[in-house]
């Protein structure tokens, strides 16, 4: 994904939620179950926490929660993110 597209997605929390919601819907249409979606969301969140600076308060809160949780807690947060955008 190009930097411009990434900047667009991360520019606002609503845009990020909309993008994530589209990807969750696409995953469901491909037959992914909630566990598979959460595992994918967990990989994306790992990447974002390690490589992207938060662009708003909501993203900052998610990053802090992600970094403070252990792997099990991060996995549960990934489930919650999938449910939030579904």
Summarize pLDDT for 15-65 with one digit per residue, the tens.
Answer: 999 999 999 999 999 999 999 999 999 999 999 899 999 999 999 999 999
pTM: 0.87
Backbone angles phi, psi at 66, to 5 degrees: -60, -45
């Amino acid at each position: 994904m190009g930097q411009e597209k990434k900047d667009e997605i991360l520019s606002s929390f609503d845009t990020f939620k909309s993008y994530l919601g589209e990807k969750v819907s696409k995953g469901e249409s491909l037959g992914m179950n909630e566990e598979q979606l959460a595992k994918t969301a967990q990989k994306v969140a790992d990447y974002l926490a390690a490589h992207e600076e938060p662009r708003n308060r909501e993203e900052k809160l998610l990053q802090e929660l992600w970094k403070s949780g252990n792997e099990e807690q991060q996995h549960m947060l990934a489930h919650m993110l999938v449910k939030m955008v579904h």
